[in-house]
Amino acid sequence: MTILKDLKAKQSRAAQLRSQLDFPVIDTDIHTNAYSPALEDYIAQYGGSRVVDVFRSHLKSNGLNALAAEWYNASPEERQNRRLFRPPFWALPSENTYDLATVALPGLLYERLEELGTDYAVLYPNLALFPINSSNDDLRLSLTRAINHFHADIYKPYADRLTPVAAIPLNTPQEGIEELEFAQKLGLKAALIPGAVRRPIQAVAEKYPEDSDLRRYAYWLDFFGIDSEYDYDPFWQKSVDLGINLSTHSGSQSWVARNSPSNYMFNHINHFADASEALAKALFFGGVTERIPQLRIALLEAGAAWGQNVLTHLVDRFEKRGNEHVQQYNPERLNRELAIELYRQYGHTLYQGRELNEQEIIESLFGVASTSRFQAQKPEEINDFALAKIQTKQDIWDRWVPNFYFGNEADDRTIVGALNPKGNPFGQKINALYSSDSGHWDVPELTEPLAETWDLVQEGAITAEDFKSLVFTNPYQFYTANNPDFFKGTQVEHKLKNNQAA
């Protein structure tokens, strides 16, 4: 008891900072753990005893998915030969017992929120990622529903300061719609979706129907936009209609360039950014953000700098290959007479002793045997920006910036590039979110993230106005974009009213 009393007596840097702010602080990303015996009652309700057994097995393997568990059960030689990627390990701040218990006990987290310098937090149960990425239909659907119901119930008494996200599976648009509707009935206001779904390559699955190992490696990633197996527009529109804005934490560990059998950090660094970039580009190039401009997605744990980088590259590529611009590379526009004449005047040392062949000259210019392969039939096969209906550079801004918000962890200094208005062709800042990622190994002390973000202001890396945008303006804008009442009855609303009265 003395230890606990001493811990509570400490005043954090974050609490001191928050007392000086005239706006609320909204943390868009705190990870929580669940008390599994209580959760099992919900799992039994929706999935029966069999799913409870699967869940217990998952916990016994320390929460590892099947691929990760394989790594631990294999010898070093097997890991190398089978290219089993080194999975995450020691993912929680175990030495800091007080903080580890905090993210597992709703009442304690609620009590300590002032100490964290936070007025309101959006919570991401660590278990939520397990079912929505499962290919087992029964397990995915029943366990997702149980987890959502469980978290809605245990956090309901703390709704003025805490809200858990709903886990939403997306193997099909319909299952996503059904879970969104169920989440709304539970009172859940935000949602977590997978960044992609692994699907079998049909030709491989048909040719080798019994070879599970081969099919495990021969898959493609469906990012729900360009080239998707389904039309996900009804799901995106449903999220807008229900006022439940979406987010993702999905990563790319085990992808081809992140498949080290021995080094977790090799696989980890920037993997969230790679996965988020793929999802966002799929929605952009697939025309989703053009057809459903109200769609809002928070791409978390990836830093914000990549969002600025992609925006800049989209403009660069469009100005060279978008719409009519791409025609400057059309082989049919080659001035054959000029090319042949230039070879006659300057290329005689190249074809000395050979008979000048005009067709060989043309083929040599392109470095291919034939130019016929370039004759695409459909406009979208020639113009990669066609589905997004990009006509001007401004259209790129309109299809990218309002739709995507980029979660940035407190000590991630790449935010400097993301908030540099000279870093993109528009001279404006993208939407970055304060996302502490508390509850994971990169936050060994819960009370430090807000203060660490303010450290960047004191060092001159970002401005005080940037800080306000990160911790309040952008999060508030994101959550209220499709649900103006998102913060109704919360500490955020209370603080804003008090500030106005003052």
Residues 6+ apart with CB under 8 A from 370: 363
Per-residue pLDDT of the chain (502 residues; tens, 9 = 90+): 555 655 665 679 999 999 999 999 999 999 999 999 999 999 999 999 999 998 888 777 665 566 677 888 899 999 999 889 898 888 888 899 999 999 999 999 999 999 999 999 999 999 888 899 888 898 899 999 999 999 999 999 999 999 999 999 999 999 999 999 999 999 999 999 999 999 988 888 888 887 777 767 788 999 999 999 999 999 999 999 999 999 999 999 989 899 899 999 999 999 999 999 999 999 999 999 999 999 999 999 999 999 999 999 999 999 999 999 998 988 888 999 999 999 888 988 887 777 878 888 888 888 754 455 555 567 668 899 999 999 999 999 999 999 999 999 998 999 998 999 998 999 999 999 999 999 998 899 999 999 999 999 999 999 999 999 999 999 999 999 999 999 999 999 999 998 887 6
For Cα atoms 140, 103, 106, give the angle at the middle one, nearest 5 degrees. 90
Residues 6+ apart with CB under 8 A from 103: 30, 31, 32, 33, 109, 438, 439, 446
Burial of 194 (0-12, 13-18, 19+ CB in 10 A): buried
Do the beta carbons of residue 388 and residue 284 sit within 8 Å? yes
Q: Which of 45, 250, 38, 249 is nearest to 143 (CA)?
A: 45
Q: What domains are defined for the chain?
A: 24-321+398-501 (3.20.20.140), 325-382 (no CATH)
How far apart CA 277 and CA 302 sit, in angstroms, is 9
- Beta pairing, strands 26-32 & 190-192: unpaired
Q: CB 376: neighbour CB atoms within 10 A?
A: 11
Q: Is the pTM of this model over 0.85?
A: yes
